[in-house]
Chains A and B, each alone.
Chain A
Amino acid sequence: NAGVTQTPKFQVLKTGQSMTLQCAQDMNHEYMSWYRQDPGMGLRLIHYSVGAGITDQGEVPNGYNVSRSTTEDFPLRLLSAAPSQTSVYFCASRTDLSGNTIYFGEGSWLTVV
């Protein structure tokens, strides 16, 4: 049971480049989400999805795009990377919106230069 798998673990981008952070879970969870973690702050919600075909914005959605074509996958796209998007990104999943056990990926360290 792999849990939540995020790739890549480390990435350096130039300003203006686009890229996709991949997230996959094999637990048949309905609810998936993306967070960013910045120094001195807790995790902040970027986007979330309550099931295939349904996505919604979180606290800090600007500059990011998501889609949920399958239950398993929830990729996060940076449309035009900016230095302010340098951060650590975590994907998470849980059984459903009320599921109290949340599973996190190991994180993706992104640097935009």
Chain B
Amino acid sequence: AQSVTQLDSHVSVSEGTPVLLRCNYSSSYSPSLFWYVQHPNKGLQLLLKYTSAATLVKGINGFEAEFKKSETSFHLTKPSAHMSDAAEYFCVVSEDSNYQLIWGAGTKLIIKP
């Protein structure tokens, strides 16, 4: 069965410092993995997706994520945080066998000036 664990409910960083949002998944088959961002009182926007091509995936707004099968991880990173990055981030897994999406609980990213 699929599952997604976002290891931190809140992450706080200073503007200009690196961002790391951690995600571990469990999947019996070849998964597709996604990161979505949700700004306060807004809808969901796709940041990036992994679908069995390159393991390092580049997304929008300077974010990237690396698929590590041996560690069953798909952590999201950004070299330098910006105030506009303050939002909630969701890690999502989908198995090719059933295509249903399983969502992590979300990580709230707080940017300190």
Contacts and interface: CB of A to CB of B under 8 A. Distances in A.
Given A43-B90, A90-B43, A107-B43, A100 B104 contact: no
- Measured as residues with beta carbon below 8 angstroms from the partner, the interface class of chain B is 20 to 34
B99 A102 contact: no
A102 to B, nearest CB: 7
Interface of B: 4, 9, 32, 34, 41-44, 46, 49, 51, 90, 92, 94, 96, 99-106
Interface of A: 40-45, 58, 90, 97-98, 100-102, 104-107, 109
Contacts of B106: 40-42
A42 B9 CA distance: 11
A98 B99 contact: yes
A113 B104 CA distance: 28
Given A42-B104, A98-B99, A105-B43, 4 more contacts: A40-B9, A100-B51, A100-B94, A107-B43
Most buried by A among B42, B101, B106: B101
Most buried by B among A102, A106, A109: A102
